Amino acid sequence: MMTTLPVRTATPAVNADKSLSSPFMKRLVRLIRAQDSYGSWERKCDAELLAKFTVVDEQRRAIPIIGDPDPDVLWRVDLFYAAVGLSIEERANVMVSRTMEIGHDGFGRVLLTTGRLVVLSKTLRGVHRFGFNTLRNCAKIGTTFVNDAVAAIEAYPDVARSRRDGVRGSDHVSA
């Protein structure tokens, strides 16, 4: 007896420029997969997992901005900036702290700091409609945030590697 394979749903096409292979996008995919505690996304390809990060203009216009932002959208915003922070940590070999505050109106701020240096300060507006036109755009923006932050760390290494309490790691003697 012959069986047929189930028809897979359409997935976004992977860009010819291989945006999914960028270090930032790989980090984002790893963060998404780390959230899958039951293995329900195990068989999904990376493009399927990242599909929710793409919101074309027509979709964006259809999303209402009245009411609280959708929890899934807040989760994606959190994952995106977590991926930015982890990518900075890997490239600059420093610990990055992420502070994100988003109000019920969809407005807020994201701060990424290391030591006493603010490496990213981004005002968030209209979080209800968070997303990128393409995965290539997502990779480009994420990589730009990482590159700019690493450049700031390289420009001010003493500030980036100082601790907030004024005591350097090797200077501190515990009682």
Per-residue pLDDT reduced to its tens digit, 26-53 = 999 999 999 999 999 999 999 999 999 9
Percent of the chain with pLDDT over 70: 83
The three-class DSSP label of residue 118 is strand
132 close to 55: Cβ distance less than 8 angstroms = yes
Q: Is 119 left (phi over 0), alpha (psi -120 to 50) or beta?
A: alpha
pTM of the model: 0.83
Amino acid 129: pLDDT: 93
Exposure class string for 45-82: b at 16+ Cβ within 10 A, else e: ebbebbeebbbeeeeeeeeeeeeebeeebbebbebbbb
Amino acid 89: pLDDT: 96
What residues in the chain have per-residue pLDDT under 70?
1-17, 164-175
Amino acid 164: pLDDT: 59
Structure tokens at 167: 């005591």
Domain 19-160: CATH superfamily is Protein of unknown function DUF269 (1.10.3100.20)
- 117 CB-side CA count, 13 A: 23
